[in-house]
Chain A
Amino acid sequence: MGTVIAVISGKGGVGKTTATANIGVGIAMNDKKCVVVDFDIGQRNLDMILGLENRVVYDIVQVMDKEASVKQAVIKSKINKNLHFLAASQTKDKSILSSEKVKSLIDELRLNYDYVILDSPAGIESGFEHTIEYADKAIVVVNPEVSSIRDADRAIGILDAKSQKVKDGDDVSKYLIINRIVADMVQSGEMLRSEDILDILNIPLLGKVPEDRGVIDASNQGKPVISNKKSIAGQAYERISKRICGKDIDIRDVESESAGMFKKIAGIFK
């Protein structure tokens, strides 16, 4: 039985889909069978980030409506044979989802993969609720910025209220990824430190991802940044994926290590 992980954020534009794509590739690199599912009905994006937009034939809504089987609808990634992808519907509305349909899809995926990663839509409405309803775990992606953190807390609150696991008296474990950290801004006190964000949200840290221009370059090409060994964000996702697969990898202090030499020198004269 595989583990179902919902990737959530509350606020849009914080890098949730990028995180999902990279975690999917990263888990596959750890020799685990992984399927990433785009739950953002009506705003399909994960296919672009994974470079699979031209290969989508059937989408998640067609699978839920039994117009196609999971086997027909999943797309095998060229990046790694362990990685499969299920696209969101682009034409339909997210009101199309229902709890029963979502449950039967997730139950089937759980039987066939080690990890099922769900990319949730932004916001805290029905599409989001369906994504988290049957998840075992959640990864919360935030930026070190007030609106993202506040919205994430809201999303965590909804998760704890609507999750089937919680209703059954169990716990959904939640893990935090802090994305787009700018080291020298943290050092100069202009950006929230990870410790502060953890204090506020009170969930364990899964990883810190530094701001990296390579992320946009990677999405331009449809190749997740984790494949770029030189990218600091890619390396961060590699560490995160290993942690998800149960490996004990130290959290790197990206806030103090990545400031450029020039800025370090400039800092002395402040």
Chain B
Amino acid sequence: MFSWLKKKESASMAKDRLTIAIMSDRESIYELPFMDNLKSEILEVVKKYVSVKAVDIKKEVEGDIEALSIDIQLNS
């Protein structure tokens, strides 16, 4: 009895897993094709003033708000 009960759930499991996987896929870099250019341009500008090690840009989504978070790591 339990075996078919378990089976019945597999489609809804698929939906739950997909929803989560796709949500994180969509936040990834592929949604922002200009990301590499943006990174290197920011790096150029900031470099004029301080010594920079790396620039990291992430898209963050919280509810209805989408934001770009820019992380600039300085050379110490």
The chain A residues found within 8 Å of chain B, CB to CB, are: 124, 145-146, 149-150, 153-154, 157-158, 161-162, 186, 188-193, 196, 199-200, 270
Q: Is the CB of A189 within 8 A of B19?
A: no
Q: Which of B11, B17, B31 contacts A190 (CB 8 A)?
A: B11
Are B9 and A189 neighbours in the complex by a CB distance under 8 Å? Answer: yes
Q: Do the beta carbons of A188 and B14 come within 8 Å of each other?
A: no
* Cβ-defined contact, B30 with A157, below 8 A: yes
Q: Is B76 an interface residue (CB 8 A)?
A: no
Contacts A157-B26, A157-B30 given; does A150 touch B11 at CB 8 Å: no
Distance (whole angstroms) from the CB of B6 to the closest CB of chain A: 10
Determine if B33 is an interface residue (Cβ-Cβ < 8 Å).
yes
Taking a contact as CB atoms under 8 Å apart, the answer to whether A186 and B21 are in contact is no
Q: Indicate whether B8 reaches chain A with its CB closer than 8 angstroms.
A: yes
Q: A193 and B22: CB pair below 8 A?
A: no
Q: List 18 A-B contacts (CB under 8 A).
A: A124-B30, A145-B14, A146-B14, A146-B17, A146-B21, A150-B18, A150-B22, A150-B25, A157-B31, A161-B33, A188-B7, A188-B8, A189-B12, A191-B11, A192-B11, A192-B14, A192-B15, A200-B18
Please report the C-alpha to C-alpha distance between residue A71 and residue B36 in the assembled complex, in whole angstroms: 42
B7: chain A residues at CB < 8 Å are 188-190
Report which B residues bind A (CB closer than 8 A).
4, 7-12, 14-15, 17-19, 21-22, 25-26, 30-33
| A158 pairs with B30, CB closer than 8 A | yes
Please report whether the interface of chain B is mostly helix, strand, loop or mixed according to DSSP: helix
In the complex, the answer to whether B30 meets A153 with C-beta atoms within 8 Å is: no
In the complex, the answer to whether B31 meets A193 with C-beta atoms within 8 Å is no
Q: Contacts A150-B18, A200-B18 given: A157-B10 contact, CB under 8 Å?
A: no
Q: How close is A114's CB to chain B, nearest CB, in angstroms?
A: 32
**Contact between A150 and B26, CB atoms less than 8 A apart:** no
Instruction: Enumerate chain A residues within 8 angstroms of B19, measured Cβ to Cβ.
Output: 200
Cα A110 to Cα B11 in complex, Å, equals 42
Contact status of A161 and B22, CB under 8 A, knowing A186-B11, A188-B7: no
Residue of B nearest to A155 (CB): B30
Q: Whole-angstrom distance between the alpha carbons of A168 and B17 in the complex?
A: 35
Distance A190 CA – B10 CA, assembled complex (angstroms):
5
Measured CB to CB, the closest approach of chain A to B75, in angstroms, equals 33
